[in-house]
Structure 1
Amino acid sequence: MSTMKRFFHHFTLRLIALFSALLLWFYIAVERNYETKLSLPLRLVNIPDHLIPTTPIPHFVTAIISGKGKEILLLHFASAELLLNGESAVIGLCRLPLNNRTVSLSVQTDVRILSIKNPVELLLPFDAKISKPIRVIPSLTLSSKRGYTLIGTPILVPETVTVIGPRRLVAEMSDLQTLPVQATGLTHDTTFSVPVRIPDLFGIEIMPARVNLHIAAGALVKHRLDNVPIRLIDAPPDSGWALNVNTLSFTIVGTQEEIDAVRPERINAYVSYTRFRIEQQTEIEPTISLLGNVEWSNLEPKTVHLVKQH
């Protein structure tokens, strides 16, 4: 065997021996019993269903634990928590001791809790847990594309959510808002799933946490209306005055559904006799009242005036 081959042969044997020694050391280390200090997350459990804490508990608690090295090591990988038994809680300020009788581990393990070092007890206020339906108000910035329009009022489904939490906080709540929604260039009906803004209050839960927002949009349609009756109002019965025209023509703009719903007899077109007297004008633009979001333009005639009846 050459010198180089003997070198690599001996080097390989040494590596195998070293690796075997490390494995043996690790096995002995993890099988040995240890007593150590460990900081773990704390969670409150077994609280009576009708109660809820009104302030947060510490995120982490320092405990003295005992067990085999491998079991302690597994606590980290299993995301173990310390569970504080809250079954003795009542309304008001409660003293909850932290020790090996009231605190347990959240995972199945042979590790034992010897004591809790910090904190050793909690002074925690509790209140009655109540639920209440609360109205949701959308926070919206909406616009349609040119030639289109938004139709009606956006609809939330559901319109209310259930708020669960401490009685003192829930009783004072009147409404909630969604997170801001901004939608531009809308051309058709659209639905968004929107989160409800959760108040910055401890112990508040909202169900459901999201609502559906339905926004209706559609194309604008133009339609010409002729022979729409116009009235003179507020004129004294014996004044002898009348308008110079009996009907008007104008263009209406809206969605197809809105246009189809417009009837000449349901249009309120008028001029007030009082305006002629107060404004001292001989020609006045008529007032036209339409239902819904329908708009009008291109009025003919643009103005009217008074004429004396014979």
Structure 2
Amino acid sequence: MNIKKLIEKISDNWAAKIICFALAIFIYIFHQVALLDKKTFSVPLKVESEGLLTPSSQIPPYVKVSVRTKSDSISAVSSAGIKAYLYLEEYTEPGIYSVPVSLKLSSDLMLVEPLEISVKPEILRVELDEKIQKYIPVEPSVSGEVEKGYKISAMEVVPSTVKVVGPSRIVNKMKRVYTAKVNVKGAATGFMQEVSLDDVNHLVKPLPESAFKVTVVVEPEQGEMKFENVMPSIVNLNPLFLVENTVPAVTFTVGGTVPVLDKIKPDDVSVCIDCISVEAPGVYELPVVYSVQPPLSVTEKSLETVSVTVIEASVMQEETEAEEDGSSEAEAEGEGVKEMEDAAAELHEERR
């Protein structure tokens, strides 16, 4: 009888009692959750793709992981105890797949009670492609400008090729990869520097990932300087002779490295007519000698030889004296004529 009454009491108004029971459970759970503290971390996402396929679409490098536990335990929770993975080994055909993000907790974190953990995003849409490898050339990359008057004449990278592994759609389009920037600012001599590769598509992995040796060859630039209307000097002429005619001016171009040309002095360049072969008066075709200080050289000349009329110095002296005597006689005659004119003028005045 007592059991029957108990059942009747329980079943009496049963709908309201069930609702109250559900509310009590909800309030208890809500209370328990409210007592938990929360921490959120950005955790690196590691892609496991050791199979025949590899991702050919962008995959976020991090995922957001949220952890809830009691306040006295939350301080011991850190991102170091949480690992996030994307496992792709089970997929064997190229295509687009929805892949869940897997979490792995450290043993210390597994002992925390209670523990609520969630990850966002939970599932990633990943495009998978056939994994291939290919050897492609490595080319050096530089920044800055070498010293004025110098140039980069050659560059070499060792090793000159690198193996890249990645999705066929991307790897097949790759023609070359570049090293990180080599700074050549102000360089006036060659040098060697170890650098890594410049940023490659993160879906492609270069092998090896060690440093590459870049050798830069820096040399002076070649240039030219033009000299115009330069009067050659007469050298090696016997003192008994003189050059009667006026020799023409010459124009020539000097070639060399730009740093040397920038420092050229007047004494570094000379032009002369060598009369060493003159043994008697006459007309000679003599060489024009262009002299420059090494390492400069004459690249262009307006004249190779000039025509020179050589006479005896005594003849030139006699001619000069005769010209002076003739000039004196002419002056004397002029003075006599003037005196005669003056006398005639005076006589004319007296007769008047």
Taking structure 2 as the reference length, the TM-score comes to 0.44
The structure carrying a bigger helix percent of its residues is 2
